[in-house]
Amino acid sequence: MLWWDIDFGESYDLTLAKNQHLLMGWLAGGLIRGFHVALPCQTYSRIRDRGNGPPPLRSDAFPWGLPGLSPALQHKVSLSNNLTRFACRLFRDAILRRVPWSLENPRTSRLWLCNSISALVKRKNVSTVHTDFCMWAGPFKKATTFVSYLVDLSGLGARRCLGSRRVCARSGEPHKQLIGKREDGVFWTKVAEPYPAPLCKFIAKRFCDVVAARTAQNFDRYLSS
């Protein structure tokens, strides 16, 4: 299993063409047996519309970016769009090669309004399921959507918080609100990015199940040949 994140340094920056070509080459060469993508959601977030944090960068009418943004904000949007378009290329190529994949973003993210993403969601064997982070031992409700191809994530749907908007049905405690900044100045939306450990284990297990099933099928074919 390989982790790929900009936090590891520039050699892991997927906005760079050389790194995009590398991963596309791995996929074409059969070196990738399945992958999960969690696109950065900051620029797609509707929390920006509330007016008490960073400014909005997109709208329902302009999911690829608002017109008239400052150069600095436009650069931020362009980097995010670059990642989204690259992810869509990966997804489409993986479908051609029948390589399982999954994609995650908050349920209200404007990512789901982007035409290239909405087209993928409608593809054959692509499934959509919703879950809430609080039901995986997270302090935030963080209603989240997963889209997957040839990997069964339907079990995520059993973990939905059906309590009140503010109180968690699992813990009975108030949900931590994703508003404003933590004491150290970090936005709570940034703090809430990592998946709860039980959710990570669930996703990893589903991918392992796919690989194991395919390995068994290939072995059976070998024995019967």
pLDDT tier at 180, thresholds 50, 70, 90: confident
**Residue percentage of the chain with pLDDT more than 90:** 71
Q: C-alpha angle 38/44/46, rounded to 5°?
A: 125
Please tell me what DSSP assigns to residue 151.
Answer: S
Cα separations in angstroms, 142 against 83, 92, 194: 22, 28, 11
Per DSSP, the three-state class of 156 is helix
What pLDDT shows up at residue 219?
Answer: 59
Average of per-residue pLDDT values in the chain = 92
> 58 with 44: CB under 8 angstroms?
yes
- Residue 192 CB neighbour total at 10 angstroms: 18
Buried b / exposed e over 151-175, threshold 16 CB at 10 Å, is bebeebeebebebeeeebeeeeeeb
pLDDT tier at 54, thresholds 50, 70, 90: confident
* Token pair for 145: 């959507």
* Token pair for 21: 């070509």
Domain ranges of the chain: 6-220
- Rounded to the nearest 10 degrees, the angle between the axes of helix 71-97 and helix 17-28 is 10
Sequence-ordered list of residues with C-beta below 8 angstroms from that of 114, at least 6 positions apart, any chain = 63, 64, 84
How confident is the model over 15-46, as pLDDT tens digits? 999 999 999 999 999 999 999 999 999 899 99
Is the pLDDT reported for residue 223 higher than 70? no
Per-residue pLDDT, averaged over 6-14, amounts to: 90
What pLDDT shows up at residue 66?
Answer: 98
Amino acid, res. 130: H
Task: Find the length of the chain.
Answer: 225
What pLDDT shows up at residue 222?
Answer: 59
59-68, 80-89, 171-180: which range is least confident on average?
Answer: 171-180
Please tell me what DSSP assigns to residue 143.
Answer: E
55-59, 76-80, 112-116, 189-193: which range is least confident on average?
Answer: 189-193
Is the pLDDT reported for residue 59 higher than 60? yes
- Residue 130 CB neighbour total at 10 angstroms: 13
pTM score, whole prediction:
0.91
How confident is the model over 116-158, as pLDDT tens digits? 999 999 999 999 999 999 999 989 999 999 999 999 999 999 9
Per-residue pLDDT, averaged over 206-221, amounts to: 82
